[in-house]
Amino acid sequence: MSRLSFRPRPLDIHKKLPILKSIKDFEDDDSQTNTRNLILRLAAEATENEVPQTSSKKLAPEIPTPEYVVVDTYERDYSRTFAQPTSYIHARGARAEIGEFVEYDLDNEDEDWLQEFNKERKVLAAEKLETILYKLEVLDHKARERAGVIANTLGSPVPVLLSFDAAVEALQSLSIKYGVFQSIYNYWKDKRERWQKPALRRLQPPPPVNDTNPYNVFRPREKAHRLHTRRMQRRENNAQSFEKLRQVRRNLDQAKIILEALIKREEKKREVIESEISLQRLQMKHKNETELFEDTLALPEFPSFPSKVGSSEDEFVDSDDPSISRPHGRHITQNIPFRDTKVVTASPRIMRRDFKRRHVPHGWLHKLDPNEPPLLFTKPLDPAKLSAAGIIPPGSPTPNGLPARTFSFRGRMGRGGRIVFDRWNPLSHTPIECGDTLYVPPKARHSAHQ
Amino acid sequence: MGSIDTSTRVESGPDPIPTPNVTANGLSAGEDSVHPPAVDSTGASAENESLRKRKCSGVLPLEVGTRVMCRWRDGKYHPVKVIERRKLPCGGVNDYEYYVHYTEFNRRLDEWVKLEQLDLNSVETVVDEKVEDKVTSLKMTRHQKRKIDETHVEGHEELDAASLREHEEFTKVKNIATIELGRYEIETWYFSPFPPEYNDCSKLFFCEFCLNFMKRKEQLQRHMRKCDLKHPPGDEIYRSGTLSMFEVDGKKNKVYGQNLCYLAKLFLDHKTLYYDVDLFLFYVLCECDDRGCHMVGYFSKEKHSEESYNLACILTLPPYQRKGYGKFLIAFSYELSKKEGKVGTPERPLSDLGMLSYRGYWTRVLLDILKKHKGNISIKELSDMTAIKAEDILSTLQGLELIQYRKGQHVICADPKVLDRHLKAAGRGGLEVDVSKLIWTPYKEQN
């Protein structure tokens, strides 16, 4: 049954799976694939019959295990003195904290030494020796603690720091004969020098973290193992993490200085570019003005008025027309935001100044527009070629000779070779960009009506 | 591990000593000096014992790696491989005892044997030791791979054959053969890395309560006179009848935790004592009487597990095995997970016995739900109800072939008859955890 000819979709653990209560449910739904179904069912039964067999075989006590026997001295060794309290037992402090318990148990060499020692004078009980050795261990540990030489890890030898005199003084209360105590101390010190580590296991340092010898056990776990989430890391409040955070702070401060310098540099760059732009504009304007001057000299029949007068005159002439008297107000209010946006863009002031100072009546015929934005793809129109091609610019003097329209358009060659006539805003004397505003110049309407 | 079927096969042989089970290949006698070093080569038959012995004395002492038949505790001869040998303290040049591995059984049955237990007729003459070694090591690898595939469907993946061999090399000889723990003297199962001071002894005496271990009985008896503990040094969090569960913090009771680990390692093959105990909680299950609370088993649990383990090590002491305590411990670990509102899974690898217990537990819990449940159910919902990890649910149900692919979607097959059959095979849970008797709050770091 598990051998399907196709690979089943991986199982989504969040998807609710139907529980089929009977194998018959399988048969009911796809009767057309009867033979395959039958095979599957037989296979299922075969495997299902197999499963209990194998598992019962596993479950049966067939796995042989080593044996155990009952210790005959048990009942004597362990006294029947335990009475379970009615409430759940609560832990006391650890033995080391309670204090009076002698944690040390004599080992073989202690016992052998004691036997040897007691042969002469039966003076020292095993329990007494146990107590003394325990106290010596603890005192020595305290001495090392005071001296600040507690080894962090096993590997380097742990020397005895407790002097004999200090031990005698500390253990006066035990009232041991001086000679006996001296023997014990010497034995203990000798043992410790052989062991190179405390005899009491609790006081032995753990193996180093990077030690891979499997005989050494219970090494402290690396901090990195424990603190995986940031929340846990934050909780760690020690000198190490303090130092780490200080490092982070230093790094952040340095990054801030670098970023500030970067900003300064970029600002300088921008200033350089802006001054370059205005320089070029000035150069262009200068060049243009000389050309314009030459032009006016060359074509004396075209009168050149000051631009402001010309345009305002023009406006007034137009506003006399009743059809545009109302849109006039709207036109002004709408023009203000347009100007505002212009101010924001790069060096708009210069441009506007240019517009204002410009000689207006150049019309579309003007060959080189000084205010033509330095667009790569646009070219000024050649009026000769235009007339040759029979293209009459809009707003060019009509047969009835209204001069007003000459100000309304400006021709140029757009990119791709199209001929573009930009509508001219009569108030600001800037080109009206398509899509920039919904404003329809009244003049255009006016001419359309005509 | 993985030797279950072979063991049953051999034990079925009713032949008395010293004739070993005659194998199908029918090799008649020990004459076949070029006998292939195969695992199941038992082609030695009882012949003139004394003659053989004299002949074989030429091979003494036996080399490490030798394959030979050895009389086991059942009185029958079983194939073994010599793992190690050591000189007897008072003996001649060739007086050794041998540490042997019964190739049919798990390593836990490896032991030191005396020469008289070995059937020297069956010694396979080592033609070329190096070649032989190579062959066996290859065989071991394949054998181990199979072991991994068969008995530890999951969990052993992280132990490739190489590291498994390294592990076995390092722990190949049990250091401690027996321990005394309370009422019982127990044969150990595996190596345990006791401190070097304990390298010179093969029997340890454990205090039943604080688990301190000593080399001599008198030391234990002296210790018992002063030991003030009658139960594990932690909080009792569960009591039902004579059964009590104690929670011991490895940080507060370091020595106890370490003692427990040393002890447990004697019965767990893939337990590591690499890290200190202070990051673990130990849940010690006890049978209580007027002598105190006697540990029957325990499980340990990481205080903060990143892999959502709800159990690190689990052990029922051999005298208390097959009484349902292991199942109780597993169920208990899931009850703790439920209280924590977490989903949990045991740390891998699981031993053969551990895997059996877990499969049984998962089967019982899941199939009990499926039997009663009406309507559709997702794996996630099952996981939320039981605190069993979704992967474990999937592997259990798929192992029982209860998830099937029908008409482009998975369905759970829950025919009551099929479920009952599986439930019967999984065995009953024995001791139930009575949640109302669990008084416990999840561990919180005290800073």
Q: Render A88-101 in DSSP notation, one character per residue.
A: PP-----HHHH--S
> Band of the pLDDT at A50, cuts 50, 70, 90?
very low
Q: What chain B residue is nearest to A126 in terms of C-alpha separation?
A: B222
Of A328-337, B2-11, B284-293, which has the strongest mean pLDDT? B284-293
> Band of the pLDDT at A274, cuts 50, 70, 90?
very high
Residue A74: list chain B partners with CB under 8 A. Answer: 182-183
- Closest CB to A218 among B208, B275, B378: B275
User: Average pLDDT, stretch A379-402?
Assistant: 65
User: Average pLDDT, stretch B367-383?
Assistant: 91
Residue B210: list chain A partners with CB under 8 A. Answer: 95
Of residues B45 and A381, the one with the higher pLDDT is A381
**Cα angle at B252 between B246 and B255, to 5 degrees?**
90
Q: Is B369 on the interface with A (CB under 8 A)?
A: no
Closest C-alpha to B334, from B369, B299, B292: B299
> Band of the pLDDT at B404, cuts 50, 70, 90?
confident
Residue in this structure with the two tokens 């059964």, named with its chain if needed: B243
User: Average pLDDT, stretch A298-304?
Assistant: 52
In degrees and rounded to multiples of 5, residue A56 shows phi and psi of: -70, -30
Q: What pLDDT is recorded for position B446?
A: 58
Residue B401: list chain A partners with CB under 8 A. Answer: 1-2, 44, 47-48, 51
> Band of the pLDDT at A32, cuts 50, 70, 90?
very low
Amino acid at B328: F
Q: Is A83 on the interface with B (CB under 8 A)?
A: yes
Q: Is the peptide bond before A393 cis (omega within 30 degrees of 0)?
A: no
Residue B216: list chain A partners with CB under 8 A. Answer: 108, 111
From the number of C-beta atoms within 10 Å of its C-beta (0-12, 13-18, 19+), residue A359 rates as middle
d(CA A431, CA A448) in angstroms, rounded, equals: 20
Closest C-alpha to B353, from A421, A81, A132, A66: A66
Q: What chain A residue is nearest to B248 in terms of C-alpha separation?
A: A91
Q: What chain B residue is nearest to A125 in terms of C-alpha separation?
A: B222
- Asked if B416 and A101 come within 8 Å (Cβ–Cβ), the reply is no
Q: Which of B187, B320, B401 to mutate to test the interface with A (most CBs of A within 10 A)?
A: B401
Distances, alpha carbon B168 to alpha carbons A340, B102, B134, in Å: 85, 14, 16
A82: pLDDT strictly greater than 50: yes
Residue B261: list chain A partners with CB under 8 A. Answer: 217-218
Q: What pLDDT is recorded for position B106?
A: 83
B185 noted as active-site residue: no
B145: pLDDT strictly greater than 90: no
Q: What pLDDT is recorded for position B132?
A: 40
Asked if B279 and A226 count as a contact pair (C-beta separation under 8 A), the reply is yes
- Closest CB to B401 among A44, A69, A201: A44
- Asked if A20 and B234 come within 8 Å (Cβ–Cβ), the reply is no
Helix (H) or strand (E) holding A431: strand A431-432
Q: What pLDDT is recorded for position A49?
A: 46
Q: What pLDDT is recorded for position A235?
A: 61
Q: Is A27 on the interface with B (CB under 8 A)?
A: no
Asked if A70 and B218 count as a contact pair (C-beta separation under 8 A), the reply is no
Average pLDDT over all residues of chain B:
79
Q: Which of B187, B347, B381, B432 is catalytic?
A: B347
Of residues B29 and A1, the one with the higher pLDDT is A1
A273: pLDDT strictly greater than 90: yes
User: Average pLDDT, stretch A384-393?
Assistant: 74
- Asked if A11 and B394 come within 8 Å (Cβ–Cβ), the reply is yes
d(CA B244, CA B235) in angstroms, rounded, equals: 10
Q: What chain B residue is nearest to A102 in terms of C-alpha separation?
A: B226
Of residues B343 and B23, the one with the higher pLDDT is B343
Residues 70-89 of B with CB under 8 A from A: 73
Entry pTM:
0.62
d(CA A142, CA A148) in angstroms, rounded, equals: 10
- Asked if A17 and B377 come within 8 Å (Cβ–Cβ), the reply is yes
Q: Which of B415, B423, B439, B440 to mutate to test the interface with A (most CBs of A within 10 A)?
A: B415
Q: What chain B residue is nearest to A200 in terms of C-alpha separation?
A: B255
- Closest CB to B276 among A8, A79, A220: A220
Q: What chain A residue is nearest to B255 in terms of C-alpha separation?
A: A202
A209: pLDDT strictly greater than 90: no
Return the percentage of chain B with pLDDT > 90, whole number: 40
Q: Which of A21-35, A46-60, A426-440, B370-384 has the lowest mean pLDDT?
A: A46-60
**Residues ≥6 apart with Cβ < 8 Å to B430:** B323, B324, B327, B328
User: What 3-state DSSP class applies to A153?
Assistant: coil
- Closest CB to A74 among B182, B237, B405: B182
The pLDDT tens digits of the residues spanning B62-111 come to 888 888 899 988 888 999 988 888 888 776 777 888 889 988 888 888 88
Chain B nearest-CA distance from A238, in A, is 12
Return the percentage of chain A with pLDDT > 70, whole number: 54
Distances, alpha carbon B54 to alpha carbons A51, B70, B115, in Å: 51, 18, 14
- Closest CB to B425 among A17, A59, A235: A59
Q: Is B266 on the interface with A (CB under 8 A)?
A: no
User: Average pLDDT, stretch B21-48?
Assistant: 37
Sign of CA dihedral B130, B131, B136, B137: positive
Q: What pLDDT is recorded for position B4?
A: 34
CA-atom Rg of chain A in angstroms: 53
Q: What pLDDT is recorded for position A223?
A: 52
DSSP B92-141: -TT-EEEEEEETTS-GGG-EEE-GGGEEGGGPPP-S-HHHHHHHHHHHHH
B358: pLDDT strictly greater than 80: yes
**β-sheet bridge partners, residue A421:** A411
d(CA A171, CA A165) in angstroms, rounded, equals: 10
**Residues ≥6 apart with Cβ < 8 Å to B375:** A19
A186: pLDDT strictly greater than 80: yes
Q: What pLDDT is recorded for position A217?
A: 84
Of A285-294, A338-347, B136-145, which has the strongest mean pLDDT? A285-294
- Asked if A106 and B246 come within 8 Å (Cβ–Cβ), the reply is no
> Band of the pLDDT at A34, cuts 50, 70, 90?
very low
Asked if B287 and B293 count as a contact pair (C-beta separation under 8 A), the reply is yes
Residue A221: list chain B partners with CB under 8 A. Answer: 275-276, 279
Q: What pLDDT is recorded for position A378?
A: 61
Q: What chain A residue is nearest to B213 in terms of C-alpha separation?
A: A105
Distances, alpha carbon B436 to alpha carbons A88, A429, B279, B429, B444, in Å: 14, 91, 28, 18, 22
B361: pLDDT strictly greater than 70: yes
Residues 110-169 of A with CB under 8 A from B: 111, 126-127, 130
In degrees and rounded to multiples of 5, residue B345 shows phi and psi of: -150, 150
- Closest CB to A17 among B234, B412, B421: B412
The pLDDT tens digits of the residues spanning A419-430 come to 777 776 666 666
Chain B nearest-CA distance from A123, in A, is 18
Q: Is the peptide bond before A198 cis (omega within 30 degrees of 0)?
A: no
Q: Is B239 on the interface with A (CB under 8 A)?
A: yes
Q: Is the peptide bond before A399 cis (omega within 30 degrees of 0)?
A: no
Distances, alpha carbon B406 to alpha carbons A44, A189, B411, B419, in Å: 14, 77, 7, 19
Residues 13-72 of B with CB under 8 A from A: none
Distances, alpha carbon B128 to alpha carbons A330, B36, B132, B143, in Å: 112, 12, 6, 22
From the number of C-beta atoms within 10 Å of its C-beta (0-12, 13-18, 19+), residue B108 rates as buried
The ipTM value here is: 0.72
Residue A18: list chain B partners with CB under 8 A. Answer: 376, 409, 411-412
User: Average pLDDT, stretch A375-380?
Assistant: 60
A413: pLDDT strictly greater than 80: no
Q: What pLDDT is recorded for position A159?
A: 84
